[in-house]
Amino acid sequence: MTDAPAGATSRSFPLWAKILVGIVVVLILIVLAVPYFLNVDRYRDTISDAIAKQTGRKVTLGPIHARLFPGAGVSVSDLHVGNPPDFPAGDLVSADEIRVNVALAPLLHGTIHVNSVDLVHPVLSVLTDAKGNNNYTFTPADSSQPAPAKPASSTGSSMTLDQIDAINLTNAEIMVGSVIKGAAAPLADTKGISVTLHNFAISPMRMHDWQAESNLSSVTLVLSGWKDPIAFRTGKFTLSGGKLDAQFVADLATAADIKGTLNVPDFEHPQVNLEMSSSLLDIDKLLDVAGSGPGIPSSPEPSAAAAPAPAAPAASAKAPTKAKPAAAPATKAAETAPPSAPVAKSELIAQGHINIEKITTKPYSVGPANVEIRVYTDRAELWPISIGMYGGTLQISARVDRATDPARFTANIQLRNLDVAKVLEVSPSARGKMSGTGELDLPQLGGSLSDAWKKTLTGSGKFAVRNGTLPGVNLAGAAESAMKMAGVGSNTPFTVLEGDLTIADQRVSSKQIHLDSSAGVVDLKGSLGLDSTLDYQGSVQVNPMGALGTGKVGSVVGGLVGNRVGKITVPFALAGTIESPKVAPGKGLPNFGAPASASGGNTSGAPSTQQPSVQDDVNTLKGLFNKKKN
């Protein structure tokens, strides 16, 4: 009775099945155990030597481990492909980990054919030096030259690297920069890229055959000198036939949302064409993030007396012409100067068009704006820039030189047909203080892009406001206020208010500002601080019969001298701030000049002495100003 169950058990699980199961288990154990007994790390130098021969670079690999499950391949804990000899020490390519699946059959013929490569956090650093050379053009090592040094225990290699079918990049980083003063100077650093690259031919290197695609969401772009990155919300790019195309939506830090397209016609000689648009750009937020982060290695600072490099001319109806090179004025001095490092070769790396519907900087809002931009290895040029502004047009041509730390800018500014009343309307402190049509020319504006930009800002030019009024101010009232006889009231229409401008030491200075009105003229000189403080000295010159005939001064003049005083010149001082200006008596006493008919055409402004009675009356009027000043 006890033998039956044992026989049944034997029949339900035959001996051959037990043997088969045992064999499968042993095979699985072998598959799992072989990588631990197979010392593939001894081929580390062989593999790195093969890569070095094909790329002409020093290649360093970390420990290599074999694996047979789920596919035949190896994993490397570290990878470094170095820069060319004439470039700064560092890597063109590095990765935290690399996993490789290889085809076994080609190995028997001395060829490494890679089915797939997975790189974890790879970093690609693309550099261009002063001579225009780059670190990403591979030149196979010359057979007549020794390969990069390797340990004496290494064995020779007859292996060649054929092709990589697919490369999968996870959390990749791409840095683009220049070589300045022997150091790598990053211009743009893109992080968070995940991409699959196909047809990566190595022998020979055929970049035209590469194919790739990637989703740009969660990718960030860090620009040199910016403290906050540009974050891509959506987008994708494709690489095929040597051409790269991308579409994206991104946040320009906190300053704007931008939509754009990007195109690189020849990936082997990358030059980017771009089109971007934004509905709103906040200048205040942009200035907060731009120019406040780490920049590129510093270069010798220019002499304090050196004038800012000229920018491209402001756009006009004629086609703009290219700016003169900034280094041109120093050519003669350079002929006798000792030899120095070669001047960086400037190459165009990107160009395109930007359209912005609205630009804000509190409390102002302007737009639309259109910008043509060109980015070179050593500078960026933005011209023409055309911005609609309160009934007029602001045209700018600007240049940013990145070879200095901090970066410097130069600009040519031209403003036409500005409605001054509309500009002042948005500011409660300035609302209603002037009207007219404004214009401005600043052909030599320059400074640094740093937190201390006000200290470095310099420039010169001129301004004018035509056919306007000064509500609440009249020349007669201004004279009365300076004479401490009355306040300011009424309006002053004028034909032109114009003057020169010089920007330096955080102030805007003028040697001559002139206002021409039917009621008289105003001349003054002085400065306006970038902190809104006023410091001006000037004079008001009025026709007493025309301008003061109905006021208090007019009554006095009419009663004393009738029509025998041709003009009254009253000095005054303008202080305080733009929001709260303060008018006070100026240096010297008022001057009373005789009319041309009474002095035989005398226009010198000297008091008339033709009739004693008239002089007595004038002296009586002058006595009004001999009061002690507060």
What pLDDT digit, counting tens, does each position of 324-348 carry?
Answer: 333 333 333 333 334 444 455 678 8
| Helices marked H in 78-124 | 104-107
Average pLDDT over residues 164-188: 85
* Predicted confidence (pLDDT) at residue 313 exceeds the cutoff of 50: no
Per-residue pLDDT at 187: 81
Alpha carbon distance 185, 129 (integer Å) = 10
Longest dimension (CA), the chain: 162
Taking only the tens place, the pLDDT of each residue in 35-62 is 555 677 787 888 888 888 877 888 888 8
What mean pLDDT is predicted for residues 565-576? 82
pLDDT at 197 over 50: yes
The pLDDT of 120-145, averaged and rounded, is: 76
Helix H or strand E encompassing 571: strand 567-576
Q: What is the CA radius of gyration of the chain?
A: 39
Helices 612-622, 552-561: inter-axial angle, 10-degree rounding: 150
Q: How confident is the model at residue 625 (pLDDT cuts 50, 70, 90)?
A: very low
Query: Residue 375's pLDDT is what?
Result: 87
pLDDT of residue 362: 86
pLDDT tens for each residue of 137-163: 876 655 444 544 444 444 445 667 677
What's the pLDDT band for 382 if we cut at 50, 70, 90? very high
> Which three-class secondary structure string do you get for 367-428?
CCEEEEEEEECCEEEEEEEEEEECCEEEEEEEEEECCCCCCEEEEEEEEEEEEHHHHHHCCC
The amino acid occupying position 525 is K
Question: In this predicted structure, what is the pLDDT of residue 285?
Answer: 87
Check pLDDT > 80 for residue 614. Answer: no
pLDDT of residue 38: 65
Looking at per-residue pLDDT, the higher value among 588 and 551 belongs to: 588
CA atoms lying within 13 Å on the CB side of residue 36: 5
**Res. 121: pLDDT tops 70:** yes
- Provide the residue count of the chain: 630
Q: Which residue has the higher pLDDT, 461 or 66?
A: 461
The pTM assigned to this predicted structure is 0.66
Question: What is the share, in percent, of the chain residues with pLDDT greater than 90?
Answer: 25
* Listed residue (261, 269, 213, 220) closest to 238, CA to CA: 213
CB 616 within 8 A of CB 607: no
pLDDT above 60 for 615: no
Domain range list for the chain: 38-140+158-289, 310-316+348-448, 458-630
**Confidence at residue 141, expressed as pLDDT on a 0 to 100 scale:** 57
**Mean pLDDT of all residues in 203-220:** 79
